[in-house]
Structure 1
């Protein structure tokens, strides 16, 4: 039998178009806070931003960058793509590190664009939901951009991000949020994550609400202090 010919992969950087869903004041001078909100796996930016309405008090500029990889929902018929649900993903295990780097640069570009439109002292909050929480934490840890508040919702902090006392995240106000009926973030997983963070002397707030793997209006308002 002939031995299989090994396959080599060559990597290239290529131009592509990305998008953000945005809501908030039309006048940049009326912006008191800038929020980057990152959707979960299988969602689109506009859909996710619609669920963040509790944050829109007329003074917050809410920016939802959309992950770079879109796909048809596997539950949709391949013969009915015109009606199929479309979602997006921040990364998969395939070529993982390259996807993480791509998402990092995309988030930096999105932030720079909107930060340039608001006063320089406008505080920045970064909220990541589910898969978007890992993307949010990695960006906050490595971007060099001052972040007033990191919110990781329905997910743990990624284990590859430094959380020690001298780390960026160790100096950043961080809140973990989870629903008491979240089927992905079970009580055992929560306990393991909190043990890991406590062992690293990582300071964080922990919020729970009644519900599943979703956003919650009352909790969103509570995070803003209003």
Structure 2
């Protein structure tokens, strides 16, 4: 018989730049499968460090990559899916409570970004926390099947959805298997996506990331 128990759990997150009175933009990002936040966050060095504060979350499960030397992280699998999603929500709430200490994210321009497996995580974060984001960047990843229009009724007219994909992505092709994901994003979030296709593979390019906000 399966049982579950709650206990204290410590998990890392990473930040780039300082949160100060000069901060105008806050990024919250989720890496893809097998990626560690401490490396992924380097891609955000293209933004003005005096204005942009970056938070990168990390999958709560770690494992050895195929080389049996380097370590990667994962958000979830099909096993214990509901428990994993609840743990992720608790993790996000703990991170934002620690960093903002009761201050509202609405005081900033908020940009949410997910890459690959992180697309599902950041989409769930937006829905769970009712973040009134300025920009949601969904980069080469699948959209969560359980999210519905009611989950995004909190958004206002300023919100923008950017969908990014490499022209040689190894996993997705816009005119084939990725268009259904784009359709699900548009239907659930209620925003017409701006499609950004760049010359590249399943990767995050700094110059493309920099172009995702106005």
Q: Indicate conservation of the 8 Å contact 1:126/1:149, yes or no.
A: yes
The residue correspondences of 1:20-59 to structure 2 (distance < 5 A) are: 20-25=13-18, 28-59=20-51
The SS at the match of 2:211 is helix
User: 1:178, 1:209 within 8 Å by CA — same for their partners in 2?
Assistant: yes
Report the TM-score, using the length of structure 2 for normalisation: 0.87
Q: Name the SS of the counterpart of 1:102 in structure 2.
A: helix
1:72-111 alignment runs, 5 A limit: 72-76=64-68, 84-111=69-96
Change (3 A) 1:22 1:118: farther
User: Bigger radius of gyration, 1 or 2?
Assistant: 1
What do residues 170-221 of structure 1 show as CA deviations (whole Å, max 9, x unaligned)? 9742211111111111231122234445667642211111101111122111
Q: In the aligned structure 2, how far is the partner of 1:117 from the partner of 1:55? A: 26
What is the CA–CA distance in structure 1 between the aligned matches of 2:210 and 2:151, rounded to whole Å? 29
Tell me what 2:123 maps to: 137
CA shift for structure 1 position 157? 2.0
- Find the counterpart in structure 2 of residue 215 from structure 1: 204
The aligned counterpart of 2:109 is: 123
Residue of structure 2 equivalent to 1:189: 177
User: Aligned pairs, how many?
Assistant: 210
Provide the alpha-carbon RMSD of the alignment: 2.5
Unaligned runs of 5+ in 2: none
Task: Identify the match of residue 59 of structure 2 among 63, 67, 70.
Answer: 67
Give the alignment's TM-score, normalised by structure 1: 0.83
